[in-house]
Every structure is written in C-alpha cells, then in structure tokens.
Structure 1
C-alpha cells in the first residue's frame, strides 16, 4: 500500500468500530488490517486515547461550518443540529467515540460547539444560558443520531418482529385502568416510527424550545 496516513487509519478504525464495536479497535488490530507494523501507527497516534480523538475529529469534519452566513440564527441553529445528526448517523460507533474522548481536545467538535455558543448569544441569551443551550443541543443531536430506530440492522427481521411483538404484548397487557395511555399507545411506543419523522420532530422540539425562550427576552 502507499504511504500510511492518519486519515486512512481513523477511517479503518471507524469501519471496525461500526461493525464490531469500539472495544475491538486496537493498535495491533489496525496494524494487521492495514498491513503494517504497530510502530507505523504509533507515528500518527501514540496510544488509543489519541486514536479516539482522531476518530472523533474525523467524524465531525463531515459537517462543514459556514463562517460567513447571515441567515437568521434559528435557521443556522437548526442546520447545525441536523448536520451533526447526519454525519454521526453514518457511524453506529459515533456515540461511543464521543463519550470516550475529551471533546475539548477535538478541533472539529470545538468549531461546532463554538458556533452553537455564538448562535445562542445572537439570540439574546446570557453567557450562562448559552453554555447550557449549547450543551443541550449537542447532546440532543448525539442522542437522536444514536436512536434505535436507525440501527435495527443488528438483528434479523425475524428477531426484530419477535422483540416488538413481545414488548407490545407486555404493554397492552397492563391494567388499562392504571395505565390507560401506555395501553393505548403500545403500538407506536414499541414499533417506533419512520426515521424521517423521528428526526424532524426531535429537531423541531429542541429548536422550538430555544426559539420560545428567546421570544420571551
């Protein structure tokens, strides 16, 4: 193979993490897959912690930040959340990667975080409120992208159908006088909904909350 690059290493690491879980990503495993010695990888990443930072940075680099954008802040904030969901969605291991790194050490994450803070400030929130809003928004995006509705491929269609049947039956069998809403909504609660509706409603819920707060300023 040609010259080994940091990008090639993290791309292969993400492929392994997506398919087999993050615990299986090791320097030795990567070296074997890439046909090099472990020392060749250490030239780019001295340990797994550095590798994880590289993986996180590569993940979020897929979301382009527009510095000279004069659209209203709600539009830009929505695009930020939707863009982050989109790039994280592509990798089932993304949530685990972001949970295991110091996000402050990830340049591309810092850029997204800084933009979220600036947009909240433009909406008229205080410094303290901006900090909370940015954290809630980023965590919401990570959670939406990691939702089970998007990763049912871990089971066969037959296994999924049986899991859903058992869970739905369990809710529908509850005493209706005690849990009327759970019994009534057992179907959509367990069977879920389309990914498009799940995402759009989730983003609407989060952004609308920020807009409502800003309108009270």
Structure 2
C-alpha cells in the first residue's frame, strides 16, 4: 500500500470502534488491518491517547460551523446543535471516544466550543454563565446523538431488536399498581419512538431553557 496517512489510521479506528467497540481498537489490530507494522502507526500516534484524540478530531472535523451571519443567536445555536448531532450520529462510538479524551486537545472541537461561547455571550450571559451553558449544550448534543445508536455497537440489527424487546418486556412486567407509568410507557422508554421527535424535542427542551434565562436577564 502507499504511504500510510493519519487520516487512514483514524478512519479505520473509527470503523472498528463503531462495529466492535472502542476496546477493540488497538495499535496491533490497526497495523494488521492496514497491512503495516505497529511502528508505522507510532510515526503518527505515539500511544492510544493520541490516537483517540485523532479519532475525536476526525469525527467532528466533518462538521463545519457556520460563521456569524447576523441572525438571532438562538437560530444560530439551534443550527449548530442540529449539525453537531447529525455529525456525531454517524459514529456509534463517538460518545465513548469523546468521554475518554481531553476535549481541549481536539482542534475541531475547540472551533465548535468557541463559537458556542460566542453565541452565549451574544445572548447576554456573563462569562461564567456562558461557560456553563456551552458545556451543558455540547454534552447534551453528544448524549442526544448517542442514544439511538449506542446499542448498535458490536451487535447485528436482529440482536439490537432482541435487546430492546427484552428491555421493554422487563418494564411491562413490573407491578402495574406500583409502577403504572413505566408499564404504560415501556416501549418509548426503551427507545421505540420516532427518532425525529427524540432529536427535536430534546434539543428544543434545552434551547427553551436557555432562551427563558436570556429573556429574564434582558
């Protein structure tokens, strides 16, 4: 094969992480899959920590933050959140990757983070409030993106369906007199709902709270 690139390494690492789980991503496994020696990978990533950072940077790099175009801050924040969710949704292992690295070391994440801080400041929040809002909304976007996909990691569609069926039956078998609402809503509780509703409602729930706080400060 031609000269091995860092991009080729992280793309294969993400494929393994999505299909088999992040624990399956090792330097030795990647070297075998890419047809090189482990030393060829160490040229780009000296350890797994650096590899994970590279994976995080790659999975977010596909998300282009729109420049401030004068629209209301809430519209821009909604667009940013929607775009980030769509980008992260492509990778079932995204949440696990982002949990295991120092996000301040990921250039593409810093771009998103900085832009979100600017939108919070434009909404009228002070420095500390802007930092908290940014952390909450980015972590919420990561969690929303992860929920419909995390069960797929390392499982076939049939296995996923069986896992959900068992979870649903477990809730439905609870004593209805003690847990009436869990029994009634067993299906949506385990994830059997319209994905579009899941995304939009979760995002609007967060944005509505931020908007209400901004109005109260005005």
TM-score, length of structure 1 as denominator length: 0.90
2:124 is equivalent to residue 103 of structure 1:
no
Match in the other structure for 1:179:
179
Gaps of 5+ in 2: none
2:34 is equivalent to residue 29 of structure 1:
no
Contact 1:172 1:182 in 2 (8 A): yes
Contact 2:74 2:211 in 1 (8 A): yes
Contact 1:81 1:203 in 2 (8 A): yes
Aligned in 2, Cα 1:23/1:177: closer, same or farther, shift over 3 Å? closer
Q: In the aligned structure 2, how far is the partner of 1:18 from the partner of 1:123?
A: 37
SS in 2 for 1:108: helix
Contact 1:56 1:94 in 2 (8 A): yes
2:133 is equivalent to residue 133 of structure 1:
yes
Gaps of 5+ in 1: none
- Report deviation, 1:82: 1.1
Aligned in 2, Cα 1:75/1:168: closer, same or farther, shift over 3 Å? same
| 1:1-217 → structure 2 map (5 Å cutoff) | 1-147=1-147, 149-153=148-152, 154-157=155-158, 159-160=159-160, 162-190=162-190, 192-217=192-217
- Report deviation, 1:67: 2.6
Q: In the aligned structure 1, how far is the partner of 2:40 from the partner of 2:211?
A: 50
Q: In the aligned structure 2, how far is the partner of 1:160 from the partner of 1:40?
A: 36
SS in 2 for 1:216: helix
Aligned in 2, Cα 1:86/1:8: closer, same or farther, shift over 3 Å? same
- Report deviation, 1:73: 0.7
Which deviations, in whole Å up to 9, do the C-alpha atoms of 1:156-185 show, x marking residues without a partner?
Answer: 43x555544544444344444433322332
Q: Which structure has more RCO (C-alpha within 8 Å, separation ≥ 6)?
A: 2
- How many residues matched? 215
Aligned in 2, Cα 1:23/1:186: closer, same or farther, shift over 3 Å? closer
Q: In the aligned structure 2, how far is the partner of 1:151 from the partner of 1:45?
A: 26
Contact 2:93 2:150 in 1 (8 A): no
What's the C-alpha RMSD, in Å, of the aligned pairs?
1.9
